[in-house]
Structure 1
Amino acid sequence: MHQDAQDASILLVDDMEDNLVALEAVLAALQVPLVRAQSGEEALRAVRRREFAVVLLDVLMPGMDGFETAARIKRLDHAKDTPIVFLTGTETSNDAGYAFRGYATGAVDYLTKPFDPWVLRTKVAVFLELHRKNRQLRRLQDEHEERLRDVESRLQAVEREFAGGAGTARLAERIGELAASMRALRGG
């Protein structure tokens, strides 16, 4: 994945050009990169190259359909938690089997075309915000782990000093520094 950690992109997958144009028009107001794919194979190539905040995936496509595409995306380690919203035409929307299969494949939502542009934009905005929050949380966890490694390294140095017979006053000073670091990590 060759993408900045703060980027939030949306993958639009539909074999019909008109549907992609409509999705782009509805989602342009969100001001995030929109990546197109006109087949399941093309979608998989895109997902292998970068991370997406959400995938909007047409159910019925020639070749690899939306269900198979979703299943393959979910098998990729870096994409297994990527939300997938299935989009389907009215001809399949009344078939409960399609919805069940979509959710069983890992979809988080199932919308019927033609969709309400406001509803779609609002739902996608929620997924974008979740993506940003998850990135922020991962960054904070990484920073916390780095601080813990630093304290652990300093504690090991104190242990070496103690084993080497360093003076008691110097050891007490180093232990005080470590205790202060641990309190800071705990937020108190």
Structure 2
Amino acid sequence: MSTSHADPSSILIVDDMEENLIAFEAVLGPLHQHLVRARSGEQALKAMLRQEFAVVLLDVRMPGMDGFETAANIKRLDQTKDVPIILVTGSEGGADHAYRGYAIGAADFIAKPVDPWVLRTKVNVFLDLYRKNRQLAVRTVTGDADRLTEITDRLSRIELLLRDRPDTDPPGLADRIAELERAVGTLLPDRTGTTR
């Protein structure tokens, strides 16, 4: 398993029973990540709005807001909808729990009693995906910054051309401006919030 000790990610563990939280912390401890506890669905939602998590480990059976309701609420919020959820369920749920969980957006299931190796492996897969997505986002931002630098350089050259030329429409200026407008347009977000 590949884990990063230098830049730990956060994992949210949601269970209403203290002994289960302690057990999950003991199992996930060797991954050297930041473990955050929540004892209810309400606490889980508050925690998710306060910080970013790589994965959520969520017990299905809890008083009040159960795991299914909590997962559905997590998936409804723009800020948290992409966070993978591993539902922890007893053996009594069977196919009904699996269908219901996948229908609301759970990424995976694990049954009690939990096999420590299986749990660490599943969580580690989501940690790796989270890190790769973050690296990709950084590369995209860096690439955009490089493009903006290139555009700034081009604009500076055009400005120099305009200053040095007495005529108001030097040959090729309109083409250069159109090219720059297209380049800038690809970096600006469209109405859906994605880069064109």
TM-score, normalised relative to structure 1 = 0.81
1:138 Cα deviation from its structure 2 partner: 0.9
Q: 1:137 to 1:127 in 2, by over 3 A?
A: same
* In structure 2, C-alpha distance between the alignment counterparts of 1:84 and 1:52, rounded to whole Å: 10
Percent identity between matched residues is 55
1:33 matched to 2:59 = no
Matched position secondary structure for 1:87: strand
For residues 107-146 of structure 1, the aligned pairs below 5 Å read 107-146=106-145
TM-score, normalised relative to structure 2 = 0.77
Which one has the bigger helix percentage?
A: 1
Q: Which runs of 5+ in 1 are unaligned?
A: 1-5, 168-174, 176-188
Matched position secondary structure for 1:137: helix
* In structure 1, C-alpha distance between the alignment counterparts of 2:53 and 2:109, rounded to whole Å: 18
1:166 Cα deviation from its structure 2 partner: 4.9
Q: What amino acid maps onto 1:47 in structure 2?
A: M
Q: What amino acid maps onto 2:153 in structure 1?
A: R
Q: Give the match for residue 62 of structure 1.
A: 63
Equivalenced residues, count: 161
* In structure 2, C-alpha distance between the alignment counterparts of 1:71 and 1:91, rounded to whole Å: 21
Matched position secondary structure for 2:164: coil
Q: Give the match for residue 90 of structure 1.
A: 91
1:90 Cα deviation from its structure 2 partner: 1.8
* In structure 2, C-alpha distance between the alignment counterparts of 1:113 and 1:60, rounded to whole Å: 12
* In structure 2, C-alpha distance between the alignment counterparts of 1:154 and 1:68, rounded to whole Å: 52
* In structure 1, C-alpha distance between the alignment counterparts of 2:31 and 2:8, rounded to whole Å: 13
1:153 Cα deviation from its structure 2 partner: 1.4
Q: CA RMSD in A?
A: 1.7
* In structure 1, C-alpha distance between the alignment counterparts of 2:24 and 2:9, rounded to whole Å: 16
Q: Which runs of 5+ in 2 are unaligned?
A: 1-6, 167-175, 177-196
